[in-house]
Amino acid sequence: MVATAEVRASGATVRALGATSNEIRTASAVVRAIYNFPSAELRASGATVRVLGATSNQLRTSAAYLTVIVRGRIAHPEVRAWTFTLDGHDFYVLRLGDTATLVYDVYSEQWVEWDGHGLPFWRTSLGMSWLGGRKLANTYGSDVVAGDDTWGLLWFLDPNQAFDDEPDEGLPVQQISYERVISAQVLASGRESIPCYSLFLSGDNYGLTAIDFTPSITLETSDDQGRNFDAFDTLTVEPDLTVENPYQWLSLGQITQPGRIFRFTDTGVFARIDSLTMNDEEEDGR
């Protein structure tokens, strides 16, 4: 029920153990329960509330109103920092409250932004490379453990998994895709016009696959410095098949001042990107 904004129920029955009344009935009751982020509320009209007791035989009410606040997300404006080592890379994580999560890769000397499934920040609030977790690394993929401040869970980071696990074990789909977004740019100045006959993206996914969804990669381009983007073909790779290199997009028009931004959104096609090439020698004459 975590992703549900509102749940309504008519003719609901609420039973509770008590010490006085045998039965309480309501002809027109509204029961609101805020019980788990990000659910907004739960309503029940025409509810019947029964309480087992030892004194009164029956108590009736024609209009009852109940409000129950159980649990939910509270604001975390503070900044948190932690580090971990994964797949040969040292990472520095900077959680900027409820605004964003910035991750620095010491090896590549690059900052990236991580978020999570509808939230502007990564749900893992704090974590570490746990020495005691090395015994579990073969099962869970690494010794990096992190705490989820939305679900109250502990996660292990697995570099060999192309998807996120569903935190609610009761749902039928247990594999959730997440987006990897990368960008590249070609600059143009003055009256220069650069033909864009084709675009080739190559890499590897190390045979990583998913069962509950089909990984895909989408190309978008912007000719006004990122204010607006145009979407092109979405390419997919079937589960249990390796990526066919390179992925290509053809007939992308002309690039003029100030240039063009290429943005790729990947849901599991690539674990590693090797190169991005525009045109080839025969097409552009170079």
> 281: which DSSP letter?
H
What pLDDT was estimated at residue 82? 96
What pLDDT was estimated at residue 203? 85
Residues of the chain with CATH 2.60.120.260: 180-284
pLDDT for residue 153 is more than 50: yes
pLDDT for residue 95 is more than 90: yes
The overall pTM is greater than 0.75: no
How many Å apart are CA 53 and CA 65, to the nearest integer?
Answer: 21
% residues pLDDT > 70 (the chain): 70
CB atoms within 10 A of CB 94: 14
The tokens describing 243, both together, are 């990526």
CB atoms within 10 A of CB 57: 8
Query: 285 burial class (0-12, 13-18, 19+ CB within 10 angstroms)?
Result: exposed
* Strands 198-204 and 254-255, bridge-based pairing: unpaired
Radius of gyration of the chain (CA): 27
Q: Mean pLDDT over all residues of the chain?
A: 79
Element at 267 (helix H, strand E): none
How many Å apart are CA 117 and CA 162, to the nearest integer?
Answer: 15
What pLDDT was estimated at residue 159? 87
How many Å apart are CA 42 and CA 226, to the nearest integer?
Answer: 41
Q: CA triplet 172, 13, 169: central angle to 5 degrees?
A: 15
Q: Which residues pair with 182 in a beta bridge?
A: 264
HSE of 218, CA atoms in CB hemisphere, 13 A: 12
CA 59, 60, 61, 66: dihedral to nearest 10 degrees?
A: 60
Return phi, psi of residue 139, to 5°.
-85, -45
CB atoms within 10 A of CB 144: 24
Q: Minimum mean pLDDT among 55-64, 196-205, 227-236, 258-267: which range?
A: 55-64
> 122: which DSSP letter?
-
pLDDT for residue 190 is more than 50: yes
- The CATH number fitting domain 180-284, selected from 3.90.226.10, 1.10.1740.10, 2.60.120.260, 3.40.718.10: 2.60.120.260
Mean predicted confidence (pLDDT) in 111-121: 91
What pLDDT was estimated at residue 17? 47
Alpha-carbon distances, residue 202 vs 97, 215, 245, 272, 276 (angstroms): 36, 15, 5, 9, 7
The tokens describing 133, both together, are 């977790």
Mean predicted confidence (pLDDT) in 241-250: 72
C-alpha torsion sign, points 152, 154, 160, 165: negative
> For 259, left (φ over 0), alpha (ψ -120 to 50), or beta?
left
pLDDT for residue 6 is more than 60: no
What pLDDT was estimated at residue 65? 61
How many Å apart are CA 229 and CA 222, to the nearest integer?
Answer: 5
